[in-house]
Amino acid sequence: MKTTSSVLVANFKHWGIDHIFGIPGKAISPILFEILRHDMEFVLSKHEAAAGFEASGYALMNQKIGVAVGTSGPGGTNMLTAAGQAKASNVPLLIITGHPSMKDTGKAMGQDSSIFGADLVEMFKSVTKFSARVERADMLQPYLQHAIEKACSGVKGPVHLSIPFDILLEQIEPFQLELPVSYEMISPITSEVIDKLNVAKRPLLFLGKGVHSSKAYGEVQHLAEHWNIPVITTPGGKGAFPSNHTLSLGAFGLGGTTEATEYFHEKVDLLLVIGSKLSDMSIAGLSEAMYPEHIVHFDYDPTFIGKSILVPTTPILGDIQANLTAILKDIPKTNSESFLTHIERVPLHENETGERMSAVQVLRAMRYALPEETIIFGDDGSHSFYGIKYFDIYKPGTFYFDDIFGAMGNGIGYSIGAKLAAPEETIVCLVGDGCMFMHGTELSTAYNYNSPVLFIVLNNGRLDMVEKGMQKMIGTSIGGVYETPLNVARFAESMGLEAYTCYTPFDLSDSIIEALHKIEETSKPIVIEVIVDENEIPPTMGRQ
């Protein structure tokens, strides 16, 4: 017999998880003691939401599952945001929260997480795929099995278990669960897609972040090349298709390109939507006059199919990669190299004397200096929409951004967890000063746990996206400008990090190259603060 907490952590270890993210508290202390005994790393985050972000980035890179733990009451409520973000990003995340005591439930207890206090099980239900309280030790095995099956199967996502302190200390028979293997559903009407493609005159591929979730990069490229279909991406689908591919038209929606919009203006007869809900951010700028004649919509979840663009729609339900594989099984391989153009570095230009650097210059300097395989995590804000429009992708799967839930600060945590899961990768967090104000203390987490992310922070002293949106709507803004702007470099230095402040594209390019060398030598994160033009209009003004 072993304690519930011991059996729980032994399963984490069995799944190949080396890092657990969270903040201690009495209600979850038995789990922390077992993490020590099982020779795993407990990563002390600075906020429980950030712990959830970090565990999500970890899951994204290790292709298994991430685990975040938070104590009862406010520890759990702080993690609700991370759960919402993981659900939007289709990331398998197991959140464990505590509860003071099952046997004392109904009495007055501090940080009560039952129906008599902050009922975490109910709170988590709308932002997870499964949320339950383990009220007896013998319930752990079936509840944990249900949780991981929900997290790792179908549309992947977060799950939550609340486990009271006294239950964690109870003795049970040990058990070992395997992470589930998905048996992917394939649509029975994939042959119809081939028929429609064979007769289409002006087809268009529209890629969302579901392509990232299914890792269907090769299949999407094969499909596009065989039928010679131009490709656009949603903001969240950025990075699913190489920018230097002859069929790439760039992004559509917020941060979209002129080329993508112009292709819609000359009537599209068949639009293949792959892995997108077609949210308002993804179809911003798409008028009814630009609607396609027919849509073929690939998605695991049918909830939003046929809801945003009201034209005849054929749903192809199931795993994107599995369905595309079925469509392409008799299609000869294409020579992808022949579709790729030579990569030319866009030359850098000095900003005008006395003027601040533009965000466009920042993204071009980043592309100039960063290795082609660098993985970018774009935090939420106009800085990432500049990235969507101006940062070229040469290797699919190297740009991650969420255009649905949009929790500010998530990219900071995602990049930290991702680097711990994949230390061999070059990982950059593209972030703004507003996100730094929210979760910038996680720089300390990155420093203390040797997660050497390069943080590039665009600082214009404001919540740029909302401030500019207000200016557009009413000619002024309220609450969008910081009276005392953040000194990002000094903030980073206060937590032990080395930091640079850059004012020109050439300074930025040189600093990136120098920082990457230092990161390789020290295994410590570095921050580059970039002072940018506060009056520049971001590519986010098309949203209604």
- Token digits for 318? 């199931």
Residue 544, CA distances (Å) to 280, 403, 472, 541 in order: 8, 15, 11, 8
β-strand partners of 271: 204, 295
- Give the residue from 432, 446, 413 showing the smallest Cα distance to 362: 432
Q: What CATH homologous superfamily does 359-531 map to?
A: Thiamin diphosphate (ThDP)-binding fold, Pyr/PP domains (3.40.50.970)
Amino acid at 144: L
Residue 185, pLDDT score: 83
Please enumerate in sequence order all residues whose Cβ is within 8 A of that of 109, keeping only pairs 6 or more positions apart, or say none.
Answer: 100, 101, 116, 117
Q: Bridge partners of 56?
A: none
Q: Tokens at residue 115, please? A: 């129906």
| 120 touches 77 (CB < 8 A) | yes
Q: What is the spatial distance between Cα 88 and Cα 86, in angstroms, rounded to a whole number?
A: 5
Helix (H) or strand (E) holding 378: strand 375-378
Question: Please, are residues 128 and 138 in contact by the beta-carbon 8 Å criterion?
Answer: no
Residue at token pair 């945001």: 81
pLDDT tens sequence across 110-152: 787 878 888 999 999 999 999 999 999 999 999 999 999 999 9
Distance between CA atoms of 20 and 74, rounded to whole angstroms? Answer: 19
Q: What is the mean pLDDT of residues 265-275?
A: 95
CATH number of 2-172: 3.40.50.970
DSSP 404: S
Is residue 533 very low, low, confident or very high in pLDDT (cuts 50, 70, 90)? very high
What is this structure's pTM? 0.95
Q: Which whole number is the average pLDDT over 77-88? A: 98
User: Which among 393, 110, 125 has a CA at the least distance from the CA of 237?
Assistant: 393
Report the pLDDT value the prediction gives residue 471, as an integer from 0 to 100: 87
Which segments of the chain belong to CATH 3.40.50.1220?
190-338
Query: What is the C-alpha to C-alpha distance for residues 103 and 135, in angstroms, rounded to an integer?
Result: 9
CA distance 368 to 373: 13
Q: What is the dihedral of CA 371, 378, 439, 12, to 10 degrees?
A: -80
327-357, pLDDT tens digit by residue? 999 999 999 889 999 887 778 888 877 789 9
Condensed to tens digits (0 to 9), the pLDDT of residues 168-227 reads: 999 999 999 999 987 778 999 999 999 999 999 999 999 999 999 999 999 999 999 999
For residues 381 and 387, the answer to whether their CB atoms sit within 8 Å is no
The per-residue pLDDT for 470 is: 86
On the CB side of 110, CA atoms within 13 Å amount to 4
Given this model, what pLDDT does residue 540 score?
84
Q: CATH 3.40.50.970 in the chain: give the residue spans.
A: 2-172, 359-531
DSSP H helices, 482-540, are: 488-493, 505-522
Q: What is the pLDDT at residue 88?
A: 95
The DSSP symbol for 537 reads P
The domain defined by 190-338 folds into: Rossmann fold (3.40.50)
What length does the chain have? 544
- Indicate the average pLDDT of the chain: 94
Cα–Cα dist 121/115, whole Å: 9
Is 52:86 a contact under the CB 8 Å cutoff? Answer: yes
Instruction: Using only the alpha carbons of the chain, give its radius of gyration.
Output: 24
- Residue 94 contacts residue 65 (beta carbons within 8 Å): yes
Can you name the residues that pair with 457 across neighbouring β-strands? 431, 529
Condensed to tens digits (0 to 9), the pLDDT of residues 412-456 reads 999 999 999 999 999 999 999 999 999 999 999 999 999 999 999
CA 225 → CA 220, 231, 246, distances in Å?
A: 9, 10, 9
pLDDT score at 542: 63
The span from the CA of 300 to the CA of 274, in Å, is: 10
- The C-alpha atoms of residue 466 and residue 117 are separated, in whole angstroms, by 35
Question: Residue 543 has what pLDDT?
Answer: 59
Beta pairing class for 270-274 and 203-207: parallel
Distances (CA, A) of 3 to 29, 266, 491: 13, 66, 43
Q: Can you tell me the distance from the alpha carbon of 274 to that of 381, in angstroms, rounded to the nearest whole number?
A: 24
